[in-house]
Amino acid sequence: MTRSIFVLAAAASVLALSACDDRPSRSDGDYREMSVEPAPPPVKEDTPPPAPEVQDPTPTPPPSTTLPPEERTSEQSVQPESETLFY
């Protein structure tokens, strides 16, 4: 059993090393030079001018509707509004 494991490991190592062969797949005569075009100059993006600051000529008044005062006592405010039981 251990002998077959060593044989399989050796075969896998041989296959892995043969896949890493460093020889070229074709001769140097088959290669041709690529034409290299110069890169276009970068396009300068136009940034819009900053928006002018706008000041409100008349300030907005605070809301005139306020909450009515609470007419319940503090004891009534802690009482539940319904008879729901919480467990």
For the stretch 20-75, pLDDT in tens is: 666 656 666 666 777 888 888 888 888 888 888 888 777 777 776 777 777 777 77
CB 59 within 8 A of CB 52: no
What is residue 25's DSSP assignment? S
Q: Which residue has the higher pLDDT, 17 or 86?
A: 17
Who has greater pLDDT, 9 or 57? 9
Measured in residues, the chain has a length of 87
